Structure 1
């Protein structure tokens, strides 16, 4: 029904967008450098990369067949790890909640979904408070000037670049800024700070 994707060319390109339109799939692009916008997929990618790194180190593939077996094993490991992984907030794995049994041991488990929901809400609120403590609070408006943080700057580089003009303010915590007369970028407000003139 809907597709969440990042700003990679394979997703923003015409072929992928035409396919979404053809199948009447609602599009939800996330802003640039905001992996938390698609956290489930990013976490699964991390599991795949970790498995691939370990398996490649232990048994390096020697030919095409070995590479196929390596990829297949990696994907199977990640597919099992996703439902078996202990969720830090709920203190339970998704598989245990669904199947009523521990994913590693043959132990029955009964999930209290009301308590799990309360724990999850408490964790979300705590994380938001922690993240917002670091943020410079500002009610951004169209035509305001902002500085955009440079991702992973070196020691002598400026930490922010700009100023850029805000062309649009979105309700989901992101803004659109004008980088040049013909180029705009949608960016999360955590990646900018107000420009003091």
Structure 2
């Protein structure tokens, strides 16, 4: 299909919930929600563990900002340009106002959009549309609707999605293994030090 405006590939593109505005509705019934913020997105295109999510009491009507599996979220305001796919523990969290939420039609896999937006070409396309004021980024819904995105054929998309997922799962596993080795090495070092002083 070549290059297609993102607006034609999406069923939903919108900024997230403004927490301060939503919290100012005491007449509505409140419940505790987990919220998704820029700080929860990793540089690699994922979302941090659920333990990091902030919990906020908000009206039940805020549910319309809930993230669905496969949504793509990206910074629309702030100092860091981040892009991530919603999955796992992040599903059902409320997307906050510094993020733009993109829900795709079946024409384009989320992993393909994610790969594009992390690529040099995708980053350049985003930065062309970003306005910067006082070192802060500003990206609007209109900017994303008009942004051209490559749409490979279905077979190519399947290969891209598989490679993207495998690469990031391998990277995450490597990080977990490195953290485990680090913790074990420190524990052994401390234990050896303790034994050396008790003899």
The TM tier, using the shorter chain, reads under 0.3
Higher strand share goes to which structure? 2
Q: Which has the higher contact order (CA 8 A, sep 6+)?
A: 2
TM-score by length of 2: 0.27
TM-score by length of 1: 0.27
Select the structure of larger CA radius of gyration: 1
